[in-house]
Amino acid sequence: MKQVLDLDQVLSSDWIVQENQTIDLSYANRVINTYDELGLEMMLRLQDEDPKCNSISLTVGTEDTESMLRKALALQVEEAIRIDHAVSMSQTPQAVARMLCAGIRKIGDVDLVLCGRQASGSDYGQTGLILAELLSWPCISLVTEVVRRNEGWVIIHQVDDGLEEVVVSGPVVLTMTQSADHFLRMATLRNTMDAKKKAITQWSLSDLEEWKLVKETAGVSLSRIFTVEESNDCAMVDDPEFFVDRMIEEIQKMNQSEGVSL
Amino acid sequence: MTIGVVGEMRDGKLTQETIEAICRAVHVKEQLKMTIELVLMESRENFDSPWIDRWGADRVIVYERDHSERLEMEAKLSTLEAYVRVTKPLALLFAGSIQGQELAPRLATRTSASCLVDCTAVKVDPVDQELLVTKPIYGGNAYGEYSAPFPCYLSFRAKSIAVEVKKEVPISIQWRMIEKTNEKVAVVSHRLLSAATYDLEDKKILFVCGRGLQKLENIKRVEAIASRVGAGVAGTKKAIENGWLPLETMVGQTGKILAPELCVVLGASGATPFVHGVKNAKKIMSVNKDQEARIFEVSDLGSADDCESVIEAMERKFV
């Protein structure tokens, strides 16, 4: 899971790049990345279905990511692990995937890894795919549903041709995308209070013996941030009828050029 | 030096995303003298070569696949690994499809290349002789320019470049055999549950439904109006999450990027990731009862009325 800034709180006028090539978003709340929430909810559903299923939330981040892990614990995730490392905009997905890979190998007996398709911030959209490569596991991307059956993981995901059901028999990495009626459940007040007392396992990179063994790949580097003013002069109309008349005019103009009547 | 374009075909023809990737390669070629190789994995039965020479590729390499068998992702990756081993391309550009966005990072990890997906621009840094690649960050609210060392693999956001027809010149088409996989992937079976329709991309008029429509019944009313005017109906992320419309109709940064002539947005606030999906429309007309909604910043005409009033007005005209 990744903690990100709640960009919905940021006003259009606040997207200003400072001289040091950063944007001041310090007032925005820190939240669980939307797509990671879908992965968390999916894991909880698998746990609901099979109480023997052990659930772990794993993140890379500093101490301030622990509020996110406590939220997961409040939702009855059994264990929370934080790899202590500050993740910044300049961090490449390769570097994060290497740390996650080493963490998953340290955990050991893992059958399924769920992660979001991308995180708002750097928006790389690559970490889950790279992680699967580093683990030498298959990766099914843009997943909307997963259940455990005798034959393996039955996964529904989005492909260019539509929605596909895939059955995978071994361990697999899934990257989650949005789908209907998949929202992260709410924790009860009692569970939220209890989660505050639970321990969060913390690993430093030196604890991850395998970290340096994971192959390092070439990375890109962020050299400049900029914004683009995308503003139209929008003419506002008061009357719905007038709005629809203007819409009809536009359609008629298009149809006239093609010789079609409305 | 070679720049490879990993292309895709649908119904025997190059996909729009593939043509866009070739056009990107042509732009890079103008700055670095390179040969453009279009790399395809297709059966002879499906391969239709007319028009393949009009986009600017210098050579076409087709890895021949069995017409009757599905080509697994692992086989595609092994084949591209073999291509990279033989050709050592300076850059590989992938079609901006779901498959392209998945292949690029995985292949880059296997072959130690730098990689970016969902890019919107690329140019050559004349000093460092590396690529400078632009992609949206912070949910599309800003852009990042990245230095990407060679070899570099990129996939581009759909419709982020206008395609240009180049002078048709005869190009060689070379057939090679697809690589056998090492079978390490434990995929037991596949089944297509619902087939994608490509209607939305072709529609000149698009109605986009947002959370402000409030209920499924209103979506159905919009669909009825749309069928009368020959428009497509798409949804925002919130509309999809509410189960009002299928996932494949989602418009936005993580959905479809569309460029209709007229886009009528009903009840969407105009969150930046969504706006990226419609901003290429020639004309945007929006309805949102919040006069301050961000959608009006990118619209040509706006109405701060309740969506239902506008739907009723449309029904009086069309239904």
Contact at CB, A122 and B304, closer than 8 angstroms: no
* β-bridge pairing A30-32 and A3-5: antiparallel
Q: Name the residue among A139, A163, A217 with its Cβ closest to that of B193.
A: A163
- B70 touching chain A per CB within 8 A: no
Q: Which residues of B touch A158 (CB under 8 A)?
A: 98, 247-248
Which comes out higher in pLDDT, residue A254 or B117? B117
- What was the pLDDT predicted at A259? 62
Question: Minimal CA–CA distance to B310: which of A82, A32, A248?
Answer: A248
Determine the 3-state secondary structure of A184 from DSSP: coil
List the structure tokens of B114: 């730098």
Q: Residue A171: is the preceding peptide bond cis (ω within 30°)?
A: no
CATH node for B2-177: 3.40.50.620
Domain ranges of chain B: 2-177, 199-318
Q: Which residue do the tokens 């990511």 mark?
A: A65
- Fold match between domain B2-177 and domain B199-318: yes
Distances (CA, A) of A98 to A34, A107, B247: 22, 14, 32
Q: Is the pTM of this model over 0.80?
A: yes
Beta carbons within 10 angstroms of residue A245's beta carbon = 14
Tell me the pLDDT tens digit for each residue of A16-30. 999 888 899 989 999
Distances (CA, A) of A73 to A46, A58, A69, A70, B82: 16, 11, 6, 5, 45
In CATH, the architecture of A3-213 is 3-Layer(aba) Sandwich (3.40)
Average pLDDT score, chain B = 90
Contact at CB, B247 and A178, closer than 8 angstroms: yes
- What was the pLDDT predicted at B110? 94
Interface of B with A in 266-295 (CB under 8 A): 271-272, 275, 279, 283-287, 291, 294
pLDDT (average), residues A7-23:
87
Q: What residue of B is the nearest CA neighbor of A33? A: B139
Residues of chain A with CATH 3.40.50.620: 3-213
Contact at CB, A23 and B300, closer than 8 angstroms: no
- What was the pLDDT predicted at B32? 84
Q: Which residues of B touch A231 (CB under 8 A)?
A: 297-298
- What was the pLDDT predicted at A106? 94
- For B314, phi then psi, to 5°, come to -65, -40
B37/chain A closest Cα distance in angstroms: 23
- What was the pLDDT predicted at B184? 56
Q: How far apart, in whole angstroms, are the C-alpha atoms of residue B263 and residue B275?
A: 11
ipTM: 0.91
B36/chain A closest Cα distance in angstroms: 23
Is residue B315 scored above 60 in pLDDT?
A: yes
Q: Name the residue among B138, B189, B196 with its Cβ closest to that of A167.
A: B189
- What was the pLDDT predicted at B99? 96
- B237 touching chain A per CB within 8 A: yes
- What was the pLDDT predicted at B244? 95
Percent of chain B past pLDDT 90, that is, above it, reads 66
Distances (CA, A) of B91 to A9, B16, B41, B156: 38, 20, 18, 13
Q: How far apart, in whole angstroms, are the C-alpha atoms of residue A67 and residue A48?
A: 23
Q: Name the residue among A130, A161, A237 with its Cβ closest to that of B303.
A: A237
CB–CB of A163/A144 below 8 Å?
A: yes
B183/chain A closest Cα distance in angstroms: 11
pLDDT (average), residues A112-122:
94
Contacts of B181 (CB under 8 A, 6+ apart): B72, B74, B75, B78
The CATH homologous superfamily of the domain defined by B199-318: TPP-binding domain (3.40.50.1220)
pLDDT (average), residues A1-16:
90
Question: Minimal CA–CA distance to B184: which of A168, A259, A7?
Answer: A168
Q: How confident is the model at residue A244 (pLDDT cuts 50, 70, 90)?
A: very high
- Identity of the highest mean pLDDT range in A4-8, A11-15, B184-188, B210-214: B210-214
